Amino acid sequence: MIMWKDTGMGSMLFQLLLVSFVFLSFVDNGSAGVTSKFVRQEWPSDDIPLDNEAFAVPKGQNAPQQVHITQGDYDGNAIIVSWVTPDEPGPSQVRYGTSEKKYDFTAEGTVKNYTFYNYNSGYIHECLVDGLEYDTKYYYEVGVGDSARAFSFQTPPKIHPDAPYKFGIIGDLGQTYNSRSTIEHYMESGGQAVLFVGDLSYSDRYQYHDVGVRWDTWGRFIERSAAYQPWIWTAGNHEIEYMPYMGEVIPFKSYLQRYPTPYAASKSSNPLWYSIRRASAHIIVLSSYSPFVKYTPQWRWLAEEFKRVDREKTPWLIVLMHAPIYNSNEAHFMEGESMRTVFESWFIQHKVDVVYAGHVHAYERSYRVSNIHYNVSGGDRYPVPDKSAPVYITVGDGGNQEGLASRFQDPQPEYSAFREASYGHSTLEIKNRTHAFYHWNRNDDGKRVATDSFMLHNQYWGSSRRRRKLNKNHVHTVLASMPHRLRRPL
Ligand SMILES: *[C@@H]1O[C@H](CO)[C@@H](O)[C@H](O)[C@H]1NC(C)=O
Ligand SMILES: *[C@@H]1O[C@H](CO)[C@@H](O)[C@H](O)[C@H]1NC(C)=O
Ligand SMILES: *[C@@H]1O[C@H](CO)[C@@H](O)[C@H](O)[C@H]1NC(C)=O
Ligand SMILES: [Fe+2]
């Protein structure tokens, strides 16, 4: 791994290279995708020590900690607030209102606790705050007396096909100095909600009591963002926590206790797969580590959920999963293949705009390709350009303690548009029903640097022939950035 030193020469070279990457990712240069030669991390991949300021316990007797919110219903006028009180249960009440320190309303939640080996979780509160107005700033408070803590959040605009919205996409975050850099850079991006693609705390890298302790530190670590805007959760393999040597054999035990999702609002029977609608986006969350083959509950649910998608109301159709379907890193190569064989044809049929995944600790973006004609006896075994296919983006580059996946397959496969083994986060800035601006931002030298970016053209409003006739001015940047041999007329 190359450790990047912040020298004058270095940053000049860096600026140059940066410019050329941005250039290459926009312009058709007649070759296949770009493999950025950089493998960068500013910090070693060790978890931040327990006594570090990043995990500071809030002051006050039994003060609420690990406060985080997620969307609480299908359309975005509810949130679920979750927090932990360490010493005694205390109230599960959220006081809230539209002006600071003036809480006109209260919502009552529930409290629970669990053990993991000999760790005791403390009291985990969960409170649904619903009936909120759209596009409104709310202030809220949890805890009592001197230990009460106040936060705020902004509700999304009402579901509307042209509602602008900026999502952040983060995966495989962990709790290292690189993770801290990712979260700090994300917070400067202006993102309004996080689409989190799985592998949260990496506490399963610890043993015995420390598994639980590292869930607590992670909850305090992400509070700086997650108490103020919803993080939309996807489960990854590090949430499985199958640890029979400690007597812990219930998959996703800690995750499900700590990170509630609004699954019932989308008629799902399981918190691990569900969907939400927010502004102009319909977001489908899948579980890579739950059964999904034909006839299983997840498969049946997804078949029904695709029917509920209404692109006239929510033009943007986004799928989140943990194990990527198209990725050319040597790490975890083809681990998403089983899900591809089951769901890829649906993604094509329903014109999914973009699929985000994590798992591989590097960044990669695909062209629009599909491989739905391949079967065990068929001859068509290579992905082909497919204008109905989603763009597949892997953002497992949050910065956890396992380090970077720095070995890509060589040569770069034709489906791969851009790849780099560095840490970072992405943003998807929806402008209206036809255009969304996508950025991947590499963490670098203490700055947030936009590295790979392109205009995402909506698959429903952009590629339907009838609509395109009505919207002649739209530029097909995604197509324009494809190599000639991958091009087909739209
Ligand atoms: C949960 O809290 C109750 C009440 O304080 C306590 O009696 C019980 O032992 C706790 N259970 C676990 C699993 O920690
Ligand atoms: C498998 O592929 C072959 C060759 O492309 C095709 O004829 C056949 O219909 C496919 N079978 C299925 C079940 O998709
Ligand atoms: C949608 O947004 C894009 C990018 O900002 C802009 O160029 C386009 O004109 C917008 N379309 C409409 C109909 O406003
Ligand atoms: Fe993973």
242-251 tens-digit pLDDT: 999 999 999 9
149 within 8 A of 141, measured Cβ to Cβ = yes
- Name the percent of the chain lying above pLDDT 90: 81
Pocket test for ligand 2, best of 294, 341, 375, 380 (most atoms within 8 A of CB): 375
Could you tell me the pLDDT band of residue 42, with boundaries at 50, 70 and 90? low
Question: Is the model's pLDDT at 110 over the cut of 50?
Answer: yes
Instruction: Tell me the CA–centroid distance for residue 380 and ligand 2, in Å.
Output: 9
Q: Which ligand has the nearest atom to the CA of 375? A: 2
CB of 378 sitting under 6 A from ligand 2: yes
Q: What is the pLDDT of residue 463?
A: 55
Q: What is the DSSP letter of 102?
A: B
Instruction: Tell me the CA–centroid distance for residue 450 and ligand 3, in Å.
Output: 22
CB of 115 sitting under 6 A from ligand 1: yes
Q: What is the pLDDT of residue 387?
A: 95
Pocket test for ligand 1, best of 88, 113, 117, 124 (most atoms within 8 A of CB): 113
Q: What average pLDDT does the segment 413-422 reach?
A: 95
Whether 332 is catalytic is yes
CB of 113 sitting under 6 A from ligand 1: yes
Which residues lie with the beta carbon below 6 Å from any ligand 3 atom? 431-432, 434-435
How far, in Å, CA of 413 to CA of 180, rounded? 32
Nearby residues of 274 by Cβ (< 8 Å), 6 or more positions away = 261, 262, 263, 265, 266, 268, 285
Q: What is the DSSP letter of 243?
A: B
Q: Give the nearest ligand 3 atom to 432 CA.
A: 1
Instruction: Tell me the CA–centroid distance for residue 79 and ligand 4, in Å.
Output: 27
Q: What is the pLDDT of residues 371-384, one digit of tens each?
A: 999 888 877 889 99
Could you tell me the pLDDT band of residue 58, with boundaries at 50, 70 and 90? very high
Q: What is the pLDDT of residue 17?
A: 38
Could you tell me the pLDDT band of residue 447, with boundaries at 50, 70 and 90? low
Q: What average pLDDT does the segment 54-74 reach?
A: 98
Packed helices 297-308 and 337-349: angle between N→C axes, nearest 10 degrees: 20
Could you tell me the pLDDT band of residue 4, with boundaries at 50, 70 and 90? very low
Q: What average pLDDT does the segment 35-62 reach?
A: 89
Could you tell me the pLDDT band of residue 390, with boundaries at 50, 70 and 90? very high
CB of 114 sitting under 6 A from ligand 1: yes
Instruction: Tell me the CA–centroid distance for residue 400 and ligand 2, in Å.
Output: 42
Question: Is the model's pLDDT at 396 over the cut of 50?
Answer: yes
Evaluate the omega torsion of the peptide bond into residue 411 and state whether it is cis, within 30 degrees of 0: yes
Question: For residue 425, what are the β-bridge partners?
Answer: 441
Mean pLDDT of the chain: 89
CB of 376 sitting under 6 A from ligand 2: no
Question: For residue 275, what are the β-bridge partners?
Answer: 284
Query: CA 18, 21, 25, 31: dihedral to nearest 10 degrees?
Result: 170
Instruction: Tell me the CA–centroid distance for residue 109 and ligand 1, in Å.
Output: 18
437 within 8 A of 182, measured Cβ to Cβ = no
Residue nearest to atom 8 of ligand 3 (CA): 435
Could you tell me the pLDDT band of residue 21, with boundaries at 50, 70 and 90? very low
Out of 332, 361, 425, 435, pick the active-site residue: 332
Pocket test for ligand 3, best of 162, 316, 431 (most atoms within 8 A of CB): 431
Of 132-141, 163-172, 313-322, 403-412, the poorest mean pLDDT is in 403-412
Q: What is the pLDDT of residue 377?
A: 87
Question: For residue 61, what are the β-bridge partners?
Answer: none
The pTM score is 0.89
Q: What average pLDDT does the segment 78-105 reach?
A: 97
- CA angle at residue 303 from 297 to 305, to 5 degrees? 95
Q: What is the pLDDT of residues 236-286, one digit of tens each?
A: 999 999 999 999 999 999 999 999 999 999 999 999 999 999 999 999 999
Q: How many CA atoms lie within 13 A of 83 on its CB side?
A: 32
Nearby residues of 295 by Cβ (< 8 Å), 6 or more positions away = none
Single-letter residue type at 363: Y
Q: Which two tokens stand for residue 18?
A: 């940066």
173 within 8 A of 295, measured Cβ to Cβ = no
139 within 8 A of 227, measured Cβ to Cβ = no
Instruction: Tell me the CA–centroid distance for residue 342 and ligand 2, in Å.
Output: 15
Q: Which two tokens stand for residue 459?
A: 């698959």
How far, in Å, CA of 389 to CA of 156, rounded? 28
Q: What is the pLDDT of residue 444?
A: 75
Q: What is the DSSP letter of 20?
A: H
Q: What is the pLDDT of residue 472?
A: 45
Residue nearest to atom 8 of ligand 2 (CA): 378
CB of 330 sitting under 6 A from ligand 2: no
Instruction: Tell me the CA–centroid distance for residue 172 and ligand 4, in Å.
Output: 6
Q: What is the pLDDT of residues 162-171, one digit of tens each?
A: 999 999 999 9
Could you tell me the pLDDT band of residue 464, with boundaries at 50, 70 and 90? low
Question: Is the model's pLDDT at 6 over the cut of 80?
Answer: no
Q: What average pLDDT does the segment 109-134 reach?
A: 98
Q: What is the pLDDT of residue 7?
A: 34
Starting at the edge strand found earlier in the chain, the sheet holding 123-129 runs 65-71, 79-85, 123-129, 110-112
Buried b (16+ CB within 10 A) or exposed e, 117-154: bebebbbbbbbbbeebeeeeebbbbbbbeebebebebe
CB-neighbour burial class of residue 230 (10 A; exposed 0-12, middle 13-18, buried 19+): buried
Q: What is the pLDDT of residue 43?
A: 73
201 within 8 A of 220, measured Cβ to Cβ = no
Question: Is the model's pLDDT at 391 over the cut of 60?
Answer: yes
Question: Is the model's pLDDT at 109 over the cut of 50?
Answer: yes
Residue nearest to atom 14 of ligand 3 (CA): 432
Q: What secondary structure, in 3-state letters, does 190-203 show?
A: CCCEEEECCCCCCH
Q: What is the pLDDT of residues 215-227, one digit of tens each?
A: 999 999 999 999 9
Question: Is the model's pLDDT at 488 over the cut of 70?
Answer: no
Could you tell me the pLDDT band of residue 448, with boundaries at 50, 70 and 90? low
